[in-house]
Structures are given as structure tokens and as C-alpha cells.
């Protein structure tokens, strides 16, 4: 792009001439076989990008750089939990990925098979993902430490041939054992994997092994040290991975990603949005269990020929300067984190941010939840570099709204993720499907086809893909983000929260329905409603209002406290600590309309100390008083 091109022109070309635009972007990756058609949108809302073209994500992320720059840094693994650091060059990364791929093949994994990866943030997790891409297997990464019930539902949906795991992860200096969760999940699942490959870190001494199923990574790696595994070329639309995201129903959705479209989209973002190139270093503080980890720890930086940092640890251990120490040591150029992390650091002594040489750092990106103006202003003031808010979703795989500094360095507005990213024909819609005026709140929607790299469908369920994302607006058909948004007079966008029952806890999306099912797993609970409540640190936190079967269970403050602990333990057991409600309030009834509809927005408003709005439709006004009393303690 010439420096004289405005972002407005660049964006408009992507909307008006998408074929020409994306043909140009497709030059950023290597193709084994050229594509015949840029976009096939003959079966709306399903889009196929770069039809007939053959490529491979692992080849583009690793092999092509190893051939040209074998000794350049590729993967930097840092664990402040185990005090370990290890740097892998592109050549070394290729060797490790080929060893892992050979292990997979020895265990019967072939193209199209699913491999479920349930791992901590260790180098082997990176090898595990890239090895899948190398041989055309489909990986499904589940956040390490997710409860066994959640893991079992994902096993049954993906039906993996193999699971890759570790004996334990570590958090805050304490081991988090995984193996018993894996065993429980395999017992609960209808279709457990045939083999479980275990990376033994020595953190969980004497964990039990299942004969005939469990195999040791170190032993098999030793057998395949010299393995050479050629890449399997995939047609562009063939799936690369499944990533589960919470839905408004209890069953999680498997977001299915393609191969070629994803590679092109990510490569384009590294050039235009993140402005990172060969020989530079990127540090994303996310986890591979989330979409940011897939796109901007594993694939994006490596596609661009950058070194990527995989970090196991917290932003505060050993102290609040650890991230900035890493930036100085490895001359990090591009950093990606979450607003929650910024709010955590805001509570620490700012001297930690000024103790290290951060001159290599060009910019910091934040995403995962809305970035509030005070936090945005504070961190930009402390770092003295652009801090750029991104807005996107697991479903899209890359940003929907952002400043695109590689094309034009537009001014930043605090609290705004700026403009629609190229390829996204984004509009703000009224609930009747008409387009909002400037400064009018509406639902963020995208006119299809969705650009390359977005989900191609829901794994194994095309109907759910259409019903979930394309049924809110049908004339014309529009992808609904389920987020409220607003656009100001200058075209800057602001995200105002969810329209559905998904809440955002520190960048992790949780379905209230899933949490409700977990709470009702306790035998004392008759009925429950969970809402997301604003939280200064984490953005939102779940709060539960529960009706007990027997009032005697909550007759005294001590009994209420005991039952609340038990209910929280039940949620931990079913979904993991990330989903634990901040409080469980026990009430005699929940506010409902005469037709039986639960008034969630009213509950949320009361919990946040706001006006509950028009309550004339409520069947039992006393239930509202109960809620108010419970909240007042």
C-alpha cells in the first residue's frame, strides 16, 4: 500500500472489490497449488475462500522460514512458575514439530482426525498444535484446567482419536494436576479417545496411568528424534481446527476454522494491524485455550516470521514488573494483552513499568472485553506508546474493529476500538433490521460473506451455524455479533455489552445457561438465574440467584454461607473456577412475567444498582423485594 492511501480507501476497496483485494492479500502466504476462485458464496451464508488452492498452515508458519532463516528465534518459552526459559530457532521448532507429527502418526492419527489438546502453556503445546496442522489433523484445544464435565462434552462433540495432555499445569506457584480431570472426562465421555499422550513435567508425582491407553511423550519422542514428516497439503476450505465457545444453550459451539482463509487473514493482520515482520518479536499474554492464543501466540507471529513468546505465569509473579522485564530482555516489538490485565497492573506501583527499557515496543494491543476509558488513558500515559483497542470474537478469529496503523496512523479515541477492519462490511442495526444513524445504539452486525478466516460453520452442525448467527436479521441476512454498539459522527465505534446471555469474565466468554446448569447440579437447588454483573477488575462476574427446595437449608446466616460454598464448589467441579459466581443469593422466587419469562435484565440492573425499568409485567412483585433484600445483605 502506498503511504498516500487512506484507510478509508483501503477499507472501501475490500468491500467494493473483495476478489481483487483478497487476491492481493493471498500473496502473503505460500501456496502449493494456486486457487481457482477467490470466493464462492453460492450457498449463503456459507462462504468458501481461495477455492481449489492448496496450502498448509505449518509450512507457512515454520518450514518456509526455517529454509531461509534457520537460526533466527521462532519460539521463546518462559515459565515464571518453574523458572524455565528456552529459545527454539525456526530449524529447532521444525524438528520438534516433525517429532510430534511422527508420534501422532505412530498412534494412528491421519488427515481429518481430531486431536484434543488439553495443555498448560508449555512449548510442547505449541508443537502439538503445529504437528496437527502439518499432517492435516484437526486440533481442538481446551483450556488446561477446565473441569472434567466440560472436557467430556467437548470430547463427545469432536470425537478425537487422540488427546494430548500433561501431568499438571502451574498457577501462582502451585501445581494444578490435570491427569485426574482427564481420567474423569474419559470416563464420562461416550466416545473417549483411543490414546492419551502425556507430557510428564514431574509436577504430579505418581499420577495413575491407564494401561493400553496412556503413552509417554518423552519415550515416544526418543524413538522419533530423526523423524522427517512431509507436510500434507490441504484444500483451502478444509478445516484446520475446532475451538469451543460458550453459547446461550448448555451445549458449547465448536467454531470450525478453514485453512487458507485463516492463513491469509492472519498474515494480512500481521502486516496491516500489528505491523510486525521478520526478525521481530511478539508477546501475547493470552493462553492457547482461547482464540487469541491460536491467532496471536501460535499462528500469526510465526506466519510473519516473528519470534513468539509463550508465557506460563501471572502478570504479578515474581513481581508486577515481570512482563516489562521480558519486553526488555527479548526486545519485544508487539505486545497483546487484555483490559483485565491492564486493570490488575493499574493497582500496582507504576515504578515497575518504568524500571525496564521498553524502547523496542512499538505498540500494545488490548482485546477480549470492552476497554474502559480510564484504563485506556492510564496505560497509554504510563507506557508513552499507542495502546490500541481491538474488538473481535472467537468466531471471527481476527479483529473486527481496530486502528489499522499499517495503512494509516489514525488518531485513537479512548474507549473506542476505532473502525471496521478491512473485509468486514459492518453496520449497526436496529432490532427491526434497519441501519442505525450515528450515535444511535444498535446491534453490531456484518453483511455476509464473512471475510476469510472467520468461522466456516459450527462443527458438525450447519443448521446451528445458520440459526445462531444469521437468524436475528434475515431481510437481508446478516451475521449478528450479539453485541450492542454505537458509531459516533467521526465513524469511531464503541462496544456496549452483550445482547444475549453470554457474559465476559476477564476476556473469557461464559454462557449463563452453563453456569445455571452447574448450580442446579446441587441437590438443594430448585431454580436458579445467573446474570453478568459489572466488575471493576474483570469486566463482568457471574452472580447467581437461587431458589432452594427446602427453606430450612438457608434458615440462618451460617447455613446460607455453608450452602453458598457448596454451590460454588459444584460450579468449580462442573465448569472450573473461572465460572464460579461472585455470590449466590438465596431467594424464595425469581422475577418472571405472567408468561413465565425470566426478567434477566431487571435482575442484572438491580445487581448493578440501576433502575430495573418497567416492572408492570411481573407476576409476583414480592420476588423483586426478595432480590433487593438479598442484595442488601
Structure confidence at residue 249 as a pLDDT band (50, 70, 90): low
pLDDT for residue 251 is more than 90: no
Boundary residue ending a domain (193, 216, 232): 232
pLDDT in tens, 303-316: 999 999 999 999 99
Which of 232, 257, 286 delimits the end of a domain? Answer: 232
The pLDDT, as a whole number, for residue 2 is: 42
Contacts with 239 (C-beta within 8 Å, 6 or more apart), sequence order? 138, 256, 257, 258, 259, 456, 459
CA diameter of the chain: 73
Domain assignment of residue 124, yes or no? yes
> What 3-state class would DSSP assign to 559?
helix
Residue 548: give the domain boundaries.
506-632
DSSP string, 526-573: EEEEEEEEEETTTEEEEEEEEEES-GGGGSSHHHHHHHHHHHHHHHHH
Packing angle of the helix pair 18-25, 7-16 (nearest 10 deg): 110
End-to-end, the C-alpha distance of the chain in Å comes to: 60
Q: What is the DSSP string of 187-211?
A: HH-SS--SEEEEE--SSSTT----T
For the cut 80, the answer to whether the pLDDT of residue 328 exceeds it is yes
CATH code of residue 513: 3.30.300.30
Lowest mean pLDDT among 43-47, 193-197, 221-225, 579-583: 579-583
Q: Tell me whether the omega of the peptide bond preceding residue 632 falls within 30 degrees of 0, making it cis.
A: no
DSSP 8-state secondary structure symbol assigned to residue 351: G
Name the pLDDT band for 120 (thresholds 50, 70, 90). very high
Q: Which of 206, 232, 258 is the last residue of a domain?
A: 232
Q: Is residue 35 in a domain?
A: no
Please report which confidence band the pLDDT of residue 596 belongs to, taking 50, 70 and 90 as the band edges. Answer: low
Q: Residue 569's Cα: distance from chain center in Å? A: 25
Q: What is the CATH number of the domain that holds 124?
A: 3.40.50.980
Evaluate if residue 250 carries a pLDDT over 70: no
**What's residue 248's pLDDT?**
53
> What per-residue confidence (pLDDT) applies to 1?
41
Average pLDDT taken over every residue of the chain: 92
> Per mean pLDDT, which of 345-349, 393-397, 520-524 is the most reliable?
393-397
Least confident of 65-74, 99-108, 118-127, 167-176: 167-176
pTM, to two decimals: 0.84
Tell me the three cell numbers of residue 624.
Answer: 423483586
pLDDT class of 595 with cuts at 50, 70, 90: very low
pLDDT over 50 at 470, yes or no: yes
Band of residue 578 on the pLDDT scale cut at 50, 70, 90: confident
Asked if residue 324 belongs to a domain, the reply is: no
Q: Which three cell numbers stand for residue 512?
A: 449463563
Residue length of the chain: 633
- pLDDT value of position 575: 85
How far, in Å, CA of 402 to CA of 399, rounded?
7
In a domain, 239, yes or no: no
Domain count, the chain: 2
Residue 248 exposed, middle or buried by CB count within 10 Å (0-12, 13-18, 19+) = middle
Q: What is the DSSP string of 387-399?
A: EEE-B--TTTSS-
Strand partners, 540: 534
pLDDT digits (tens, 9 = 90+) for 514-555: 788 789 889 898 888 899 998 888 888 999 999 888 889 999
The stretch 444-453 carries a mean pLDDT of: 98
pLDDT at 13: 98
Convert the pLDDT of each residue in 2-50 to its tens digit: 456 899 999 999 999 999 999 999 999 999 999 999 999 999 999 999 9
Domain annotation covers residue 104: yes
Tens of pLDDT, residue by residue over 422-444, are 999 999 999 889 999 999 989 99
Give pLDDT, residue 65. Answer: 98
Q: Is residue 129 part of a domain?
A: yes
In-domain check, residue 599? yes
In a domain, 210, yes or no: yes
Map residue 309 onto helix, strand or coil. Answer: strand
| Joined grid coordinates for residue 447 | 453483511
Amino acid at each position: 500500500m502506498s503511504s498516500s492511501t487512506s484507510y478509508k480507501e483501503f477499507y472501501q476497496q475490500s468491500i467494493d472489490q473483495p476478489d481483487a483485494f483478497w487476491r492481493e492479500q493471498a500473496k502473503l502466504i505460500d501456496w502449493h497449488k494456486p486457487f481457482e476462485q477467490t470466493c464462492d458464496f453460492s450457498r449463503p451464508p456459507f462462504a468458501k475462500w481461495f477455492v481449489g488452492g492448496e496450502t498448509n498452515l505449518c509450512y507457512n508458519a515454520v518450514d518456509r522460514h526455517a529454509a531461509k532463516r534457520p537460526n533466527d528465534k521462532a519460539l521463546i518459552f518462559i515459565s515464571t512458575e518453574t523458572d524455565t526459559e528456552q529459545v527454539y530457532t525456526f530449524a529447532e521448532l521444525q524438528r520438534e514439530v516433525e517429532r510430534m507429527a511422527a508420534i501422532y502418526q505412530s498412534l494412528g492419527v491421519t488427515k481429518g482426525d481430531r486431536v484434543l489438546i488439553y495443555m498448560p502453556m508449555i512449548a510442547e503445546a505449541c508443537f502439538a498444535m503445529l504437528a496437527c496442522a502439518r499432517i492435516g489433523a484437526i486440533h481442538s484445544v481446551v483450556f488446561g484446567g477446565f473441569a472434567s464435565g466440560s472436557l467430556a462434552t467437548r470430547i463427545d462433540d469432536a470425537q478425537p482419536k487422540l488427546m494430548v495432555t500433561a501431568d499438571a499445569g502451574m498457577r501462582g506457584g502451585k501445581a494444578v494436576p490435570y491427569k485426574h480431570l482427564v481420567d474423569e472426562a474419559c470416563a464420562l465421555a461416550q466416545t473417549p479417545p483411543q490414546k492419551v499422550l502425556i507430557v510428564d513435567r514431574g509436577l504430579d508425582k505418581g499420577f495413575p496411568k491407564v494401561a493400553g491407553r496412556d503413552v509417554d511423550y518423552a519415550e515416544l519422542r526418543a524413538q522419533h528424534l530423526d523423524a522427517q514428516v512431509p507436510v500434507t497439503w490441504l484444500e483451502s476450505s478444509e478445516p484446520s481446527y475446532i475451538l469451543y465457545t460458550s453459547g446461550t444453550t448448555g451445549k458449547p459451539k465448536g467454531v470450525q476454522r478453514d485453512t487458507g482463509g485463516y492463513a491469509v487473514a492472519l498474515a494480512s493482520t500481521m502486516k496491516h494491524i500489528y505491523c510486525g515482520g521478520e526478525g521481530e518479536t511478539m508477546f501475547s499474554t493470552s493462553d492457547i485455550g482461547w482464540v487469541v492464543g491460536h491467532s496471536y501466540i501460535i499462528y500469526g507471529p510465526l506466519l510473519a516470521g516473528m519470534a513468539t513468546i509463550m508465557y506460563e505465569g501471572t502478570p504479578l509473579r515474581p513481581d508486577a514488573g515481570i512482563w516489562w522485564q521480558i519486553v526488555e530482555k527479548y526486545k519485544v516489538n508487539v505486545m497483546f494483552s487484555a483490559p483485565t490485565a491492564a486493570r490488575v497492573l493499574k493497582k500496582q506501583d507504576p515504578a515497575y513499568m518504568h524500571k525496564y527499557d521498553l524502547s523496542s515496543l512499538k505498540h500494545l494491543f488490548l482485546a477480549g472485553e470492552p476497554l474502559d476509558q480510564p484504563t485506556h488513558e492510564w496505560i497509554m500515559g504510563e507506557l508513552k506508546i499507542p495502546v490500541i483497542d481491538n474488538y473481535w470474537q472467537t468466531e471471527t478469529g481476527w479483529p473486527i474493529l481496530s486502528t489499522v496503523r499499517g495503512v494509516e496512523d489514525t488518531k485513537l479515541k479512548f474507549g473506542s476500538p476505532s473502525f471496521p477492519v478491512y473485509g468486514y462490511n459492518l453496520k449497526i442495526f436496529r432490532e427491526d433490521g434497519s441501519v442505525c444513524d450515528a450515535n444511535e445504539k444498535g446491534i453490531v452486525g456484518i453483511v455476509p460473506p464473512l471475510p476469510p478466516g472467520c468461522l466456516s460453520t459450527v462443527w458438525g452442525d450447519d443448521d446451528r451455524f445458520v440459526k445462531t448467527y444469521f437468524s436475528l436479521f434475515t431481510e437481508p441476512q446478516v451475521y449478528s455479533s450479539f453485541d450492542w454498539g454505537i458509531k459516533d459522527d467521526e465513524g469511531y465505534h464503541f462496544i456496549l455489552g452483550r445482547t444475549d446471555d453470554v457474559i465476559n469474565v476477564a476476556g473469557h466468554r461464559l454462557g449463563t445457561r452453563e453456569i445455571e446448569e452447574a448450580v442446579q447440579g446441587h441437590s438443594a437447588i430448585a431454580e436458579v438465574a445467573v446474570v453478568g454483573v459489572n466488575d471493576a477488575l474483570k469486566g463482568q462476574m457471574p452472580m447467581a440467584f437461587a431458589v432452594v427446595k427446602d427453606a430450612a437449608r438457608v434458615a440462618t446466616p451460617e447455613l446460607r454461607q455453608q450452602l453458598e460454598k457448596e454451590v460454588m464448589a459444584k460450579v468449580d467441579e462442573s465448569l472450573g473456577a473461572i465460572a464460579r459466581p461472585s455470590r449466590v443469593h438465596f431467594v424464595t422466587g425469581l422475577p418472571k412475567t405472567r408468561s413465565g419469562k425470566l426478567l434477566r435484565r431487571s435482575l442484572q440492573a438491580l445487581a448493578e444498582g440501576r433502575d430495573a425499568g418497567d416492572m408492570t409485567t411481573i407476576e409476583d412483585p414480592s420476588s423483586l423485594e426478595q432480590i433487593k433484600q438479598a442484595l442488601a445483605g
